[in-house]
Structure 1
Amino acid sequence: MLTTQRKQLILGRLKADGQIVAKTLSQELGLSEDTIRRDLRELAAEGLLQRVHGGALPASPTVVDLQARKQISQEAKAVLGKAAANLIQSGQVVLLDGGTTHVHLVRHLPADLKATFVTHSPTIAVELGEHTSCEVVLLGGRLFRHSMVAMGAATLEALSHIRPDLFFMGVTGVHAQEGLSTGDLEEAHLKRALSQRAAETIVLADSKKIGVASQYVIAPVRELGTLIVEKSLPEEVLSPFEGLGITLLRA
């Protein structure tokens, strides 16, 4: 079998099964695991999959710049944002991560909501500025332009004085076994720190983020309080998340 044929087979199997187990595939094709691993490395370098221990998972298509992310799954993000906004109660302190989905959350907040929002995203802060009944706390730090959020020691220092009720975390991948992930190492560390300050962490994930992985792990999925997903997702896609001790909210 030619290399190109093997790679097409791997991508086809990945799409059908949601994962590749290198040992199993090598036995099926009568090839060495080294050959399969080499194919996986090359496909990963092209951004076509994400290597994990023992094989590969689909790569998140959302590891792109902010402008590109604005064009992805707009209708789904609006639905998820509305469902998330309904979880916020007056008087709460809410930590909002950066991300295009969270823009939709802000746009669905009730006009009379009285809450305090803390964010390290200038984009989110501008959106929150329209809600005059809410307090807005903007955390400072070095601007990470890929996601348009502040990061670094200054961000963590400001965060250390706040205990949010809710943290809405932005991610690029949600996988039942491989956890929550994103495409930048420092951002992954910051998201974990933000999550550890909050009483509950919530993730909004459209279909393109479910069952996929990015390079840097934030935390296991079981550390979430709530995972908000599209109700149109088939049960077999969501079933791996059942029994993880989290609330699965279908929007």
Structure 2
Amino acid sequence: MLAAERRTHLLDLLARTGKVVAKDVAAELGISEDSVRRDLRDLAAEGLCQRVYGGALPASPAVVDYDARRELGTDGKRKVAAVAAGLVRPGGSVILDGGTTALAVARALPAELTCTVITHSPTIATALIEHPRAELFLLGGRVFKHSAVTCGAAAVEAAQNVSADLCLLGVTGVHPDAGLTTADADEAAMKRALAARAAETYILASSEKIGTASPYRVLPWEKVTGLITDAGPHDATVDRLGALGVEVLAAR
């Protein structure tokens, strides 16, 4: 089998089963594991898969720059945001992550809702400036322009001095095995710091992120309260998460 044919086979396997196990593919095709790993390395370099120990998982499409992400899965983000906004109780406090889904949440908060919003995203803060009843706390630090958020040591330290009833956290990858992932190590650390300061943490994940993975782990499933997604009721990944005991809030 030619290299191009092998790579097509690997991509088809990723699409059908949601993962590639290098040793299984090597045995199936009668080639060495090194050949499979080289193919996966090439596919990962093109952004077509996320390499993990022993093989690969589908790569998240949500690792492109902020402007491009604003055009990705807009209907799904709106549905997820509507459910997430409903979790913010009158008089309550919420830590709102950065990103395009979180921005949709900010815009979905009812004008009559009295609440406190803590965020490390200047974009989120700007969106809520005109909200008549939302009190805003903006956490400072180095600005990570890719996601329009602050991160780094100063931002993590600032996060350690706040607390909230609820954290609404965005990720780029949601996978039963890889857990919750994102594309930047500092951003992953900041997300962990934010989640640690809330009584409950829900993950915001429109359907294009379901079943995919990014390089850096944010949280294991046991550290979150639940997942909000517009993925269909018969989605294989959602079914697996339910079997693991993850609370899934359907956004449809």
Query: What's the TM-score, normalizing by structure 1?
Result: 0.97
Secondary structure of the residue that 2:163 maps to in structure 1? coil
1:144 aligns with 2:144: yes
1:246 aligns with 2:246: yes
Aligned AA (1:196):
A
Partners of 1:173 and 1:210 within 8 A in 2: yes
Aligned AA (1:158):
A
Partners of 2:206 and 2:231 within 8 A in 1: no
Map 1:172-187 to 2 at 5 A. 172-187=172-187
* Counterparts in 2 of 1:149 and 1:89: CA distance versus 1, 3 Å: same
Partners of 2:207 and 2:231 within 8 A in 1: no
* Counterparts in 2 of 1:153 and 1:231: CA distance versus 1, 3 Å: closer
1:171 aligns with 2:171: yes
Secondary structure of the residue that 2:77 maps to in structure 1? helix
Using the alignment, how far apart are the partners of 1:43 and 1:14 within structure 2? 11
Using the alignment, how far apart are the partners of 2:237 and 2:175 within structure 1? 10
Count of matched residue pairs: 251
Secondary structure of the residue that 2:147 maps to in structure 1? coil
* Counterparts in 2 of 1:143 and 1:237: CA distance versus 1, 3 Å: same
Partners of 1:175 and 1:221 within 8 A in 2: no
Specify the alignment match of 1:85 in structure 2: 85
Using the alignment, how far apart are the partners of 1:102 and 1:161 within structure 2? 22
Using the alignment, how far apart are the partners of 2:135 and 2:236 within structure 1? 41
Q: Percentage identity across aligned positions?
A: 49
Using the alignment, how far apart are the partners of 2:186 and 2:90 within structure 1? 32
Partners of 1:139 and 1:150 within 8 A in 2: yes
Using the alignment, how far apart are the partners of 2:19 and 2:157 within structure 1? 40
Using the alignment, how far apart are the partners of 2:150 and 2:236 within structure 1? 37
Using the alignment, how far apart are the partners of 2:68 and 2:130 within structure 1? 25
**Runs of 5+ in structure 1 lacking a partner?**
none
Deviations 1:24-45 (A, max 9, x none): 1110000111111111111111
Partners of 2:175 and 2:237 within 8 A in 1: no
Aligned AA (1:108):
A
Using the alignment, how far apart are the partners of 1:236 and 1:153 within structure 2? 38
Partners of 1:174 and 1:221 within 8 A in 2: no
Specify the alignment match of 1:103 in structure 2: 103
Aligned AA (1:24):
D
Specify the alignment match of 2:6 in structure 1: 6
Using the alignment, how far apart are the partners of 1:182 and 1:91 within structure 2? 31
Segments ≥4 residues shifted beyond 6 Å: none
Specify the alignment match of 2:196 in structure 1: 196
- CA-atom RMSD in angstroms: 1.2
Specify the alignment match of 2:67 in structure 1: 67
Specify the alignment match of 2:130 in structure 1: 130
Aligned AA (2:65):
D
